[in-house]
Amino acid sequence: MQAYLDHAATTPMRPESLAAMLPYLTEHFGNPSGSHAVARRARSAVDDARDEVAQCLGCGPGEVVFTSGGTEADNLAVLGVGASGRGTSMCSAVEHHAVGNTCAALGATVVPVDRSGVVDLDALAGALGPGVGLVSVMLVNNEVGSVQPLAEVDALVRELAPRALLHTDAVAAVGWLDVAALGAVADLVSVSAHKFGGPKGVGALVVRDRARLAPVLHGGAQERGRRPGTQDVAGIVGMAAALRVATAERDEAVARVGRLRDRLADGLTASIDGVGETAVRVGAGGVHDRSAKVASSCHLRIAGVDQEELLVLLDDEGVCASAGAACASGALEASHVLMAMGFAADDAKSAVRLSLGYTTDDGEIDHVLEVVPKVVERLRT
């Protein structure tokens, strides 16, 4: 029995996405920048995909810049604004490394978060000022699933740093939240196809017409000069197809997967002593309020258990889970997200992320509910 609970790392490709891609890997191989019939066929596919992505993300087609993925989209946003001379940069302490490390390279201010992994609005207000050119706050944290108050962030930015552009890394939000509505306040929005059933190696940055940014790569005129390089036609087509399905099925997925997640999190917190659930509020009677996190996220800290050992034994039992980011060698790093949330290093090293996706079913949850307590008991003795 296998249980794949690492959908936040990547989720299986949707059949619709693969089917949409195949012709562009075979017969329709043209370069969309050309002018002949073969090229025009490819160009037309990219245009259709752009329309589709724009509609799903709530922007105009001209506002979609296709990239090689979420990391490039984040880099283009942060570095592109940074190079435009608009002002200094600022990001939350729980951003993905694609934003956090890029901002760090620019000497950005880091805004702290609270114990739930939500950006501290008072600290943000204190840090904002007229010299700020970019504020980057993710829509959903990829590790603990906390949803960020983007509208409130936007209100503060408009008031206190009127020149600043607002960027949101929405990579972990697509498929679980209405990114078009929630991201509407942002000038720049990053998404990544393989997180919602598209292929790896393709993503997009929404760049609103009002936002100006300098290109990071230099080359041809593709993507209106904002991102040169021959487009990955098949990847772009596959992303659009996956995004269409993920958007259409979102309400159903949130309800169904949310129920599975609750069964998983309630089951494990009940069956194992010393488990803390991250980014939730515990109310009267020990009820866990998970309304401030996405439906796909179950993040636990299991006292007395080392995450590296837990992952090895879970893997032996067919459970694919994860725990934070890996460094270049492949070793796990103590999560910067949990450290920023105020957890001690030992707590951070006891963390495990079980992330659900559109393919998750009751059988997988049953298996995990059976395996995890057994493995934890073994590691604690």
**CA–CA distance, 36 with 44 (Å, rounded to integer):** 12
Taking the complex as a whole, how short is the minimal distance between the CB of residue 328 and other proteins, in angstroms?
Answer: 5
Q: Which of 80, 102, 50, 244 is nearest to 165 (CA)?
A: 80
**CA–CA distance, 369 with 188 (Å, rounded to integer):** 40
Residue 125 has, within 13 A of its CA and on its CB side, a CA count of 7
Helix, strand, or coil here: 255?
Answer: helix
Taking the complex as a whole, how short is the minimal distance between the CB of residue 278 and other proteins, in angstroms?
Answer: 20
Nearer to other proteins, 281 or 378 (CB): 378
Helix, strand, or coil here: 133?
Answer: strand
Q: Which of 195, 241, 175, 247 is nearest to 21 (CA)?
A: 241
**CA–CA distance, 281 with 269 (Å, rounded to integer):** 14
Which residues are the active-site residues? 327
What the block records as the tokens of 277 is 């659930």
Strand duo 288-289 + 203-207: pairing: unpaired
Q: How far is CA 176 from CA 191, 288, 311, 320, in A?
A: 13, 19, 26, 21
Taking the complex as a whole, how short is the minimal distance between the CB of residue 376 and other proteins, in angstroms?
Answer: 12
Taking the complex as a whole, how short is the minimal distance between the CB of residue 307 and other proteins, in angstroms?
Answer: 10
Nearer to other proteins, 284 or 331 (CB): 331
Taking the complex as a whole, how short is the minimal distance between the CB of residue 347 and other proteins, in angstroms?
Answer: 13
Taking the complex as a whole, how short is the minimal distance between the CB of residue 107 and other proteins, in angstroms?
Answer: 22
Instruction: Please give the helix or strand (H or E) that residue 300 lies within, else none.
Output: strand 297-302
**CA–CA distance, 181 with 250 (Å, rounded to integer):** 13
* Chain contacts with other proteins (rule: CB under 8 A): 306, 308-309, 312-313, 316, 326-334, 345, 378-379
Residue 215 has, within 13 A of its CA and on its CB side, a CA count of 16
Nearer to other proteins, 300 or 314 (CB): 314
Burial tier of 262 (Cβ tally within 10 Å: 0-12, 13-18, 19+): middle
Q: State the angle between helix axes of 307-316 and 362-380 in degrees (0 to 180), rounded to the nearest 10.
A: 130
Nearer to other proteins, 37 or 331 (CB): 331
Query: In the block, which residue shows the tokens 């760090």?
Result: 104
Nearer to other proteins, 144 or 334 (CB): 334
Nearer to other proteins, 198 or 373 (CB): 373
